[in-house]
Amino acid sequence: MTANLHDFPDAATLAAALADEVAARLAAAIRERGIASIAVSGGSTPKKFFETLSARDIDWSKVTVTLVDERFVPADNPRSNHLLVATHLLKDKAATAKFIPLYYDRPSIDEAAVAATDKTAGIGNPFDVAILGMGTDGHTASFFPHGNNLTKALDLSGPRGVLTMEAEGAGEERLTFSFASLSDARFLVLHIEGQGKRDVLEKAKAGSDEAEMPIRAVLNHAASPLEIYWAP
């Protein structure tokens, strides 16, 4: 596994550089295959990147956007990743992109995961771009430490698609793409900011227990090189 660190002096510089690279990757995919796909993460870290990327001049009508993971909450919930992406990315030039959510209004989260797997089956084989985040507990996507479906989620021999996750640190029940769905993205990114996250990353590199810090699975086993974008 190869991990390449790109460090930047501040979040705005990182956002611009990452937006440039992602836009170039999506444009290249459109030239080569006529369509492009990107899976993005929630949280506060990517907002500036989303805003910057939304202004990049590519043929967004040929781009499909989805989420790496999602809380089992409706799109109008303040904690919804769908709402975050709709507010900060799916606007300006990116308003014409196609968005496929992971949350579906079903009686159970298991049924929602089946629906999400079905709806996303036509994209991400592999994704052109997948952008991961990381929590201070070492989780990424909704691969939470000691989550109830963590072993299944991290199994690279498992199927592509969306599964459920419950964990003490997760808050709501979660929907997440499996590691098998994300590992081979043509451009696989870990976007983190702040010295605290850098320290967590260094701790993850120094250990081996993936149940304790699931980001280790990405660092150690991702099929594609991991491009780490960091700013203080």
For the chain, which residues make up each domain, given as ranges?
Answer: 3-231
* Residue from 106, 37, 109 nearest 70 by CA: 109
The stretches of 2-72 forming alpha helices (DSSP H) are 11-33, 47-53
User: What's 147's DSSP letter?
Assistant: -
Please give the pLDDT value at position 51.
98
pLDDT band, very low/low/confident/very high, at 175 (cuts 50, 70, 90): very high
Query: Could you give the dihedral angle defined by the CA atoms of residues 74, 43, 2 and 151, in that order, rounded to the nearest 10 degrees?
Result: -50
pTM beyond cutoff 0.85:
yes
Omega into 126 within 30° of 0, i.e. cis?
A: yes
* Residue 124: per-residue pLDDT: 85
Cα–Cα distance for residue pair 78/213, rounded to 1 Å = 27
> What per-residue confidence (pLDDT) applies to 179?
98
Percent of the chain topping pLDDT 70: 100
Q: What is the pLDDT of residues 77-123, one digit of tens each?
A: 999 999 999 999 999 999 999 999 999 999 999 999 999 999 999 99
The answer to whether 52 and 143 are in contact (CB under 8 A) is no
Ramachandran angles phi, psi of 217, nearest 5°: -60, -40
pLDDT per residue as tens digits for the range 19-55: 999 999 999 999 999 999 999 999 999 999 999 999 9
CATH 1.20.140.10 is held by the domain 3-231 = no
